[in-house]
């Protein structure tokens, strides 16, 4: 039996999404979802038969063309034209895992029965997801206001047999894909194009992807930071729970507890003659990492609300017998959250690089640049440069996108969120932090060898033993770029239990 996730009104959350992704679950529409979709679709078409009054996006033009009435004979062409004309994306391709998440989140939103789409349209999106037919989507083009119009248009084109898709990581035309699976193109009916394009699934998919990775990187920052604490022979008193209970930020308390758990049984930690105080990059790990954790919790709450919402327009309320044009497609909640997450994750990288800097500085009985025969060997001098360069780049990327806006659609869309730019920037920051932490891990692993015969904790030593299988101790200068790439791959390959992350 395949592992199935049923699309229903049951709330999606991060652990559920992690399970769907990790276990490669297939999707299936529940009876509830099918009922909701059909009820909304039938209501809309009965409404159109009985009434000829203009309803935005259903029998009118779009954006500033909202006052142009469209005849009943042209409603299908109107929706197809909408998808084609809005597919104006540029830039890099959206990573495949994020594009696949966009499909999942769009299916979820349409399943609530407020959008008026055909069942077969939603089912085709489910088929795309289950068969790993992933639309080719561009990363630039959305203002994050009337939904993610351009990216979602590219996501929707293959329904019509247009655009391109990935099949087995190869790009093929959507027309060729339809022939392969013996499918007919979907003929969009009233409102369907608008339901597909209005929505925040581009921003949301980036946000969920970044959140899942950020929670993992927060855990790894604590673990690598713990290794650095012993590598720098730090005083353990700043992690005492008494310190944190008198300033009880949740993330701070959690971080301090985790550091103590990681370093339990450390010979280095138990040794005497410690410095009275350590640099802030070590001593204030609970305060800095903890603040990032609290930010991730806030962003998680925002994203959970968003992915369980209806974000297209107009919305169809069958029970109330009304169709309302509103603004649920506006990405402001996401834009602010994504900027906040980017800033918080940039700080996780910032403090990590400072620990790397301290470790290579020739302090506390460690050799300069963590290598024998410094001078002849440059050792770990330049990995710190690399980390510093990435940290500086992250500072530039962390400038908020959400404070910007630009008028579009002839003045009709006069405030936009720029949440899509916040989303793509956030992903760059998160990926960069992964590399910064990998460089810190290289340095901490190297430095701890110079503490022998004293050992760190059994947990940290076990972690480093596994790591050193790919990145052994550096005796003399070698090509460290390879070690950096191997370190990044090592972190990417680690699987961490959900209960430790969320």
Active-site residue numbers? 56
| HSE value, Cβ hemisphere, 13 Å, CA-based, for 100 | 21
- In terms of DSSP H, where are the helices of 324-478? 332-359, 381-397, 419-449, 458-468
Do residues 63 and 146 make contact, with C-beta atoms less than 8 angstroms apart? yes
In whole angstroms, give the CA distance from residue 68 to residue 54: 9
Do residues 150 and 89 make contact, with C-beta atoms less than 8 angstroms apart? yes
In whole angstroms, give the CA distance from residue 497 to residue 161: 40
Do residues 430 and 345 make contact, with C-beta atoms less than 8 angstroms apart? yes
Q: Is 376 exposed, middle or buried (0-12, 13-18, 19+ CB in 10 A)?
A: exposed
Please provide the size of the chain in residues.
Answer: 502
B/e letters for 94-118, b = 16+ CB within 10 Å, e = fewer, are bbeebbbbbbbbbbbbbbbbbbbbb
Residues 6 or more apart whose Cβ sits within 8 Å of residue 302: 333, 334, 337
Residues 6 or more apart whose Cβ sits within 8 Å of residue 428: 397
Q: Is 477 exposed, middle or buried (0-12, 13-18, 19+ CB in 10 A)?
A: middle
Cis peptide before 314 (omega within 30 of 0): yes
Residues 6 or more apart whose Cβ sits within 8 Å of residue 135: 99, 103, 128, 154, 155, 156, 157, 158, 163, 164, 165, 166, 174
In whole angstroms, give the CA distance from residue 296 to residue 468: 31
Which of 108, 89, 337 lies closest to 206, judged by CA? 337
The four Cα atoms 369, 372, 373, 375 give a dihedral, to 10 degrees, of -20
Cis peptide before 453 (omega within 30 of 0): yes
Residues 6 or more apart whose Cβ sits within 8 Å of residue 479: none
SS3 26: strand
**Other beta carbons within 10 Å of 5:** 18
Q: Which residues sit opposite 69 in a β-bridge?
A: 60
Q: Which residues sit opposite 322 in a β-bridge?
A: 317
């Amino acid at each position: 039996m395949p592992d199935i996730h049923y699309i229903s009104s049951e709330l999606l959350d991060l652990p559920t999404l992690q399970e769907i992704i990790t276990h490669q679950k297939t999707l299936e529409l529940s009876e509830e979802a099918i009922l909701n979709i059909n009820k909304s679709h039938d209501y809309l078409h009965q409404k159109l038969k009985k009434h000829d009054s203009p309803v935005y996006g259903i029998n009118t033009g779009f954006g500033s063309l909202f006052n142009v009435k469209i005849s009943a004979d042209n409603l299908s062409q109107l929706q197809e034209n909408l998808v084609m004309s809005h597919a104006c994306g540029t830039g890099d391709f959206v990573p495949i895992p994020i594009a696949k998440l966009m499909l999942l989140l769009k299916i979820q939103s349409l399943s609530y029965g407020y959008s008026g789409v055909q069942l077969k349209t939603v089912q085709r999106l489910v088929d795309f997801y289950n068969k790993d037919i992933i639309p080719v989507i561009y990363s630039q083009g959305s203002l994050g206001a009337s939904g993610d119009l351009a990216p979602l248009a590219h996501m929707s084109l293959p329904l019509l047999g247009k655009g391109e898709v990935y099949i087995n990581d190869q790009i093929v035309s959507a027309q060729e894909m339809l022939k392969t699976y013996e499918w007919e193109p979907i003929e969009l009916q009233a409102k369907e194009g608008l339901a597909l394009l209005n929505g925040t699934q581009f921003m949301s998919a980036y946000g969920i992807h970044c959140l899942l990775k950020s929670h993992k990187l927060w855990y790894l920052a604590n673990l690598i930071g713990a290794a650095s604490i012993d590598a720098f022979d730090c005083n353990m008193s700043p992690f005492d729970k008494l310190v944190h209970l008198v300033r009880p930020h949740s993330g701070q308390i959690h971080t301090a507890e985790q550091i103590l758990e990681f370093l339990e049984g450390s010979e280095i930690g138990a040794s005497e003659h410690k410095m009275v105080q350590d640099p802030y990059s070590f001593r204030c790990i609970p305060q800095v990492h903890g603040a990032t954790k609290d930010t991730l919790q806030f962003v998680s709450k925002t994203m959970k609300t968003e992915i369980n919402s209806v974000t297209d327009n107009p919305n169809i309320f069958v029970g109330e017998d009304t169709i309302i044009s509103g603004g649920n497609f506006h990405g402001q909640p996401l834009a602010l959250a994504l900027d906040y997450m980017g800033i918080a994750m940039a700080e996780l990288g910032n403090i990590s690089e400072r620990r790397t800097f301290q470790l290579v500085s020739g302090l506390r009985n460690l050799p300069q640049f963590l290598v024998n025969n410094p001078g002849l060997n440059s050792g770990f001098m330049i990995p710190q440069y690399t980390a510093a360069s990435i940290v500086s780049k992250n500072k530039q990327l962390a400038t908020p996108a959400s404070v910007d806006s630009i008028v579009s659609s002839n003045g009709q869309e006069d405030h936009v969120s720029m949440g899509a730019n916040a989303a793509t920037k956030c992903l760059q920051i998160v990926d960069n932090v992964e590399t910064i932490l990998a460089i810190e891990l290289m340095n901490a692993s190297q430095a701890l060898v110079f503490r022998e015969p004293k050992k760190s904790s059994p947990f940290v030593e076990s972690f480093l033993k596994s790591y050193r299988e790919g990145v052994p101790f550096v005796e003399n200068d070698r090509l460290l770029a390879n070690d950096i790439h191997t370190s990044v791959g090592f972190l990417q390959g680690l699987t961490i239990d959900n209960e430790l992350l969320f």
